[in-house]
Amino acid sequence: MDSSVRGFRVRSQMSGGGENGFCTLMEFVGKGGADVGDDLVVLLAHLQYAAKRIAALVASPFNSSLEKQSGVAAGGGGGSGSERDTPKPLDIVSNEIIRSSLQNSCKVAVMASEEDDAPVWLTDGGSFVVVTDPLDGSRNIDASIPTGTIFGIYNRLVELDHLPVEERALLNSLQSGTRLVAAGYVLYSSATILCASFGLGTHAFTLDHSTGDFILTHPNIKIPPRGQIYSVNDARYFDWPEGLRRYIDTVRQGKGRYPKKYSARYICSLVADFHRTLMYGGVAMNPRDHLRLVYEANPLSFLVEQAGGRGSDGKSRILSLQPVKLHQRRPLFLGSSEDMEELESYGDVQQKVNPGYEV
């Protein structure tokens, strides 16, 4: 355990903060812990509230009737065409929950979401910009497969305040990942886990349903420098470029730099696959131009780098890329530093063709 976090837990015990001395998310980010600033503490309080509402929604036995209640056709409304996936009722409700929570915080100027065609200007005096995928993996929810929420937080660019609202909302949302103030995801699974970084390590908090608090359970996560798991859709093997096929063939035969055979683990839920990779090491990847740079690739790359790993599009560091469109897609490779170095050494790992698949 990191000494600063361990020291904070001791201070928490001495001050009586938290049952049995355990550190909550709000205690961790407050003045006695990471001290991220009052405005960000307020924003995080509203984000965790939204996460708890979405967790309850995902676990509800009434999800099957949500489509009728919401009046949204499951196959309708792709928004801006091919740049966005067709939203499902749970996506839309989750998006509304997050937007409402951010607006109520009065700390967010702009929200940019996978479920909206364009960024939404929320509060003129807001200090932050939030980018989000409200409910990643929702297509799997009927099978009770884990889902998640992804978010990234930037400072508002005050130098753009003179521009028209739509223009400054968009430009605020297209900041490079190197400017992230904080990022995180919420995993809705057997436990609800909120994993976040504020630029000083990556930390995970587990929801205690008896108190409603997110409790620090995984302080200062360090992804192993080498794993033994790769996570990718193997069904598309014959569409992959030669470099990626050679890499996968090599490591699963135990003929790579790490002389053990790799195992395949693939859930097809980005947050779940990434969370496992963060815990156990290895590589999680989608080699196609499929995952969104702004609200998926950037936040998760920030988290993995803060844990000692790497995020790449197969050629370049994700956080160094300058977004040019809100729903811009890139290949995404996330994982252990040594595994990522070995993968990139094969050169040709970005999939350029995608025949015969709708998603």
213, 296, 305, 339: the catalytic one is 296
> Could you confirm whether 332 is annotated as catalytic?
no
Question: Which amino acid, one-letter code, is at 337?
Answer: S
Set 25, 47, 57, 115: catalytic member: 115
Known catalytic residue at 114: yes
How much of the chain is in helix, strand and coil states, percent to nearest 5?
40, 20, 40
142: annotated active-site residue: no
Length of the chain in terms of residues written: 359
Cα-flanking dihedrals φ and ψ of residue 31, to 5°?
-65, -25
Our answer to whether residue 19 is catalytic in this structure is no
Other CB atoms closer than 10 Å to residue 256's CB: what's the count? 19
CB neighbour list of residue 37: distance below 8 Å, 6 or more residues apart = none
Q: Is residue 135 annotated as part of the catalytic site, yes or no?
A: yes
Terminal alpha carbon distance of the chain? 41
What token pair was written down for 336? 């252990």
Whole-number Cα distances in Å, 268 to 282, 304, 318: 16, 19, 21
Q: Which residues are within 8 A (CB) of 285 and not within 5 positions of it... i.e. 6 or more apart?
A: 230, 231, 232, 331, 332, 333, 334, 335, 343
Element (H, E) at 151: strand 147-155
The active-site residue out of 25, 57, 102, 135 is: 135
Show the tokens assigned to 306.
């803060």
* Catalytic residue flag (residue 38): no
The active-site residue out of 27, 116, 136, 339 is 136
Q: Which two tokens stand for residue 220?
A: 């200062």
Catalytic residue (choose from 27, 57, 91, 334): 91
**Contacts with 108 (C-beta within 8 Å, 6 or more apart), sequence order:** 43, 102, 122, 123, 126, 127, 128, 129, 130
Q: Are strands 147-155 and 182-188 parallel, antiparallel or unpaired?
A: antiparallel
Look up 208 and say whether it is catalytic: no
Q: In what order do the strands lie in the sheet with 229-231?
A: 263-264, 229-231, 283-292, 329-335, 310-312
CA distances from 342 to 48, 246, 269, 304 (A): 37, 11, 24, 17
Catalytic residue chosen out of the listed positions 27, 114, 213, 239: 114
Neighbours of 251 (CB within 10 A): 24
The one catalytic residue in 133, 313, 339, 342 is 133
Residue 39 designated active-site = no
Q: Among the options 85, 213, 273, 305, which is catalytic? A: 85
**Active site (catalytic) residues:** 85, 91, 114-115, 133, 135-136, 296
